[in-house]
Amino acid sequence: MQFREAPTGGCRAPVGLASRIVIVRSIRRLLVVLVALAPLGTVRTPLPGSELVTHPYAGVTYVDRTETAPRPVHMHVVQIELEAPGVRFELSAPNGPRETVRQTTLDFLEAERAQIAINAHFFLPFPSADTTAWLVGIAASDGRVFSAFETPDPRYAIVADAPGLNIDRTNRASIVHRDASAADGSHVRERVELWTTVSGSAQIVTDGAATVPLYRDAEHPAGLLLPGGPRSYSNASSWYDVSAARTAIGLSRDAATLTLFTVDARGGSAGMPVGEVARVLVADYGVWNALNLDGGGSTSLAMRNPATGGASLVNTSSDNPAGRPVGSSLAVFARAK
């Protein structure tokens, strides 16, 4: 995989899936035309990948997308118009002897009677069968800030004081950063109300450019991460470069559209490196700023069927069919069309 230096100078972005997808989509459109024009009885070649776009709720667009190159992947994308009537959000509330009680994203959706839910924060202890968790990074639920910015382990994946994405009570959304002058780590530099706030491992899209963290080494002494981890990660072999199930959240340039993204690493899907996720978000979904959320076996996207009212996990979990109990989930409430 080839990389180019991102405009920030401290990050890199892979030139891979997004560029290839442009080619694949062009081929697909041509094949659609050819198939339509082919005489009856002609053997028709299957199209490379597919994309099903629906609008299940007012202000909500859902994209169920597969691609076959450069590897088979299955993506789910939900785009939410923040000004749509009835749209609101809720993060798992603080509870238990730590910060939250672990719960599958589907169970959280059902408990809150929401329409959509996605997993959010990394959490500790992990791996563990414990039913309660500490969240990693800034978290607020209904205006209550209950987890702070921090420098956590594993530092091979999660940057110190990773930015958060905040949605205030009027649905104004923005990326927020730690106010270093506040010792408790619970305040941000921006003049916003922390209301519903999520955090991940790093900001992977910044002002429309992929910004995947670099490790700190001789070439990049000011890198954002420390080398090491269970696989001795380094810039030559980065945690961010592993093809895995991923979850991301992002905002459009005008901060009017919130994008939720998952990609599977099971059920015929081979996962994606984070840099590819970032470039697809920018190239195909107009994302201007985005965070990488907890992934792997935690990746979960649950939705309620607007016709039947039933809820299900729409992605294929890498953990178990019902999804992994996670530290936090973000619920979306939207009106029927």
Read off the pLDDT of residues 65-97 as tens digits, 9 standing for 90 and up.
999 999 999 999 999 999 999 999 999 999 999
Look at 44-48, 176-180, 186-190, 199-203 and tell me which has the smallest mean pLDDT. Answer: 44-48
Look at 9-13, 19-23, 78-82, 284-288 and tell me which has the smallest mean pLDDT. Answer: 9-13
pLDDT at 48: 55
What mean pLDDT is reported for the chain? 88
pLDDT at 49: 80
DSSP 296: G
Report whether pLDDT(285) > 90: yes
The phi, psi pair for 293, rounded to 5°, reads: -95, 180
**DSSP characters over 35-59:** HHHSPTT---PPPSSEEEEEEEETT
Average pLDDT of 142-166?
A: 95
Report whether pLDDT(10) > 90: no
pLDDT at 125: 96
pLDDT at 71: 95
- Tell me the two tokens of residue 108: 């959280």
Which band of pLDDT confidence, cut at 50, 70 and 90, is reported for residue 17?
low
Point out which residues pair with 101 in neighbouring strands. 132
Task: Assess contact for 326 and 318: CB atoms under 8 A.
Answer: no
pLDDT at 190: 98
Element (H, E) at 204: strand 202-206
pLDDT at 206: 98
Burial class (CB in 10 A: 0-12, 13-18, 19+), 183: exposed
- Of 31, 50, 29, 51, the C-alpha closest to 42 is 31
Strands 301-304 and 209-210, bridge-based pairing: unpaired
Domain boundaries, the chain: 2-333
Query: What does each C-alpha distance from 178 to 73, 94, 278 come to in angstroms?
Result: 35, 20, 23
Helix, strand, coil proportions of the chain in percent (round to 5)? 15, 35, 50
- Radius of gyration of the chain from Cα atoms? 20
Report whether pLDDT(40) > 50: no
Average pLDDT of 147-154?
A: 92
Question: What is the rounded distance in angstroms from the CA atom of residue 283 to the CA atom of residue 316?
Answer: 24
Report whether pLDDT(262) > 50: yes
Helices (H), the chain: 17-37, 105-112, 274-285
Is the C-alpha dihedral spanning 66, 69, 71, 77 positive or negative? negative
- Of 2, 25, 9, the C-alpha closest to 209 is 9
pLDDT at 32: 34
pLDDT at 229: 84
Torsion of CA 312, 318, 320, 325, to 10 degrees: -80
Average pLDDT of 217-228?
A: 88
Question: What is the rounded distance in angstroms from the CA atom of residue 22 to the CA atom of residue 27?
Answer: 9
Per cent of the chain over pLDDT 90 is 80
- Identity at 160, one-letter amino acid code: A
Residue count of the chain? 337
Helices (H), 7-159: 17-37, 105-112
